[in-house]
A and B are shown apart, each in its own frame.
Chain A
Amino acid sequence: MTPADTPPLLRAERIERRDPVAGSVLLHPASLELRGGEHVVLSGPSGAGKSVLMRSLALLDPLSGGALLFRGRPVPACDIPLFRSRVAYLRQRPALLGGTVEDNLRLPFELKINAGRIYMRERALELLEAAGKPPNFLAKEGRDLSGGEAQVMGLVRALQFDPEVLLLDEPTAALDPESTAQVETLVLGWAHARSTEVATVWISHDPAQGARVGTRHYRVIAGRLCSADGVVIEAVAA
């Protein structure tokens, strides 16, 4: 099969989001295709709808219209946890779930969706090493982590399950250059080792970072998905 015959990992068909309380439009119908090996960067002003789009791609918020297909199929409600374990969404500030870094890394193995999987310290150490963290990082208390360290922890927590799509919501916006480099190295190393099997979406404000991590670039302006030079991709339905 040629790549064109295989359905994309993720396909958004005119997905739309409205504020559930006020009813105002948060995201105008947006269409997007994400194939294995692709690395999409979303940029645009704050509050324009980048996170809204990304949360919709993770099915975290209800769509007001349109459809999201995973490997060519819509995701039924009962399969959404499975979908989310394959399409990992990481928020800007990863939430700590108590205890040490290792406790945090172990916790998702207790979820029903990961039944049968076992936490492997070697795997965690491998990922941490890729982010430039020493083995004793595992013993660090979650509450003592800096923003950058927490972000690395959150990434390792997600990557140990080898998701197919990684959705990164401004992962380095609040980080110093060194932490930013660690996060990028970790994600790019992981993605390149899997070449066409995985895809990433980054939200980034930094054009230099966008150039480093992205193969396709979009802008989100006033709730509309636009090409990199600001042209609206999908016209609003009349």
Chain B
Amino acid sequence: MSGGGFLQDLSWPALAISAALILINGAISLALRLKLEKKLAIAALRTVVQLLAVGYVLGWVFAVDRWYVVLAMMVLMTLVAGRAAGERSRWTYKQMGADSIVSVWGSSWLVAAIGLFVVLRVRPWYEPQYVIPILGMILGNTLTGVALGMERITGELQSRRDQIETLLAMGATRWEAFRPAAQSAVRAGMTPVINAMSVVGIVSLPGMMTGQVLAGQAPEAAIRYQIVIMFLISAASGLGTVSVVLLVYKRLFSAEHRFLYWRLTET
């Protein structure tokens, strides 16, 4: 299958058949009385609607091919990812949303810039065919790292309050008191990418690579892209996790080496 391939013209009936497979899940839900039918139906509908919508939006962005449209799209994707990253924690503080967005934004754009301009050398810089999917993949994983890091750091600070205050009372600096919680949170945030990197190609074939191969590209070429992507993803995810943990540190520990625990509230 040189170049094109039969998959390019995936027909609507074919899509409908695959969509009908969701009925299997529905049947499971009914058989086991999981009461998930409604949720399944909504989730399935969302998949179709969201992907169709994004297909049209991307088609339009590609066709318009203007830097400001691409940039606006990038900002929108980043804001959505940043917001989602901050909505998971049980313990929150006032500026949590802003800190999540800053962490996701800073780390993903920095790493995407390195990937697009230094590694892949995309010309022009806003070439949407590259910029949007690559930023999207980085954002998806950074979001996970930041969300896990945020969830863990706030949870750890809450549950370790006694330890933190004991350390501070013994003369620990705010950083010394914060460090054990930070280590645990950064570890949690980086675990998914480490796991993903360990099994990639053996257990899982990443979506991008699969897509490229299905679309007719030689596996070796697809793999080279995938290696780049894996490292971009892990770098951005690690940076995002560390930066969100540091932002939480700035918010919850004062220069007087105090733990401002009252700023953490339960959602």
A contact set with B: CB distance below 8 Å? 20-21, 58-62, 77, 80-82, 84-85, 88-91, 93-97, 108, 111-114, 154, 157-158
In contact, B262 and A20 (Cβ under 8 angstroms): yes
In contact, A95 and B163 (Cβ under 8 angstroms): yes
In contact, A60 and B173 (Cβ under 8 angstroms): no
**Beyond known contacts A58-B169, A80-B256, A97-B163: 6 more, CB 8 A cutoff:** A59-B258, A84-B171, A93-B162, A95-B163, A112-B176, A113-B172
Residues of B within 8 A of A81 (CB): 168, 171-173, 257
Bound CA–CA A175/B90 (angstroms): 34
Nearest A-chain residue to B162, judged by Cβ: A95
Known: A80-B257, A97-B163. A91 touches B169 (CB 8 A): yes
What is the count of residue pairs linking A and B with beta-carbon distances less than 8 angstroms?
Answer: 68
In contact, B165 and A85 (Cβ under 8 angstroms): no
Q: How far is the CB of A84 from chain B (nearest CB, A)?
A: 5
Known: A84-B171, A85-B171, A95-B166. A62 touches B254 (CB 8 A): yes
Known: A77-B256, A80-B257, A81-B257. A60 touches B172 (CB 8 A): no
Bound CA–CA A89/B171 (angstroms): 10
Residue in A20, A89, A112, A114 whose CB lies within 8 Å of B169: A89
In contact, A158 and B170 (Cβ under 8 angstroms): yes
Residues of B within 8 A of A114 (CB): 171
Q: How far is the CB of A121 from chain B (nearest CB, A)?
A: 19
Q: B155-190, CB under 8 A of A: which get 1 and which 0?
A: 000000011011111111100100000000000000
B22 at the interface (CB under 8 A from A): no
B260 at the interface (CB under 8 A from A): yes
Residue in B163, B170, B255, B262 whose CB lies within 8 Å of A84: B170
Nearest B-chain residue to A61, judged by Cβ: B258
Bound CA–CA A26/B168 (angstroms): 22
Residues of A within 8 A of B258 (CB): 59-62
In contact, B173 and A62 (Cβ under 8 angstroms): no
Bound CA–CA A85/B169 (angstroms): 7
Residues of A within 8 A of B170 (CB): 84-85, 88, 108, 111, 157-158
A-B contact pairs, 28 of them (CB 8 A): A58-B169, A59-B256, A62-B254, A62-B256, A77-B255, A77-B256, A81-B171, A81-B172, A81-B173, A84-B169, A85-B170, A88-B169, A89-B169, A91-B165, A91-B169, A93-B162, A95-B166, A97-B163, A97-B166, A108-B170, A111-B170, A111-B172, A111-B173, A112-B176, A113-B173, A114-B171, A154-B166, A157-B170
Q: How far is the CB of B156 from chain A (nearest CB, A)?
A: 14
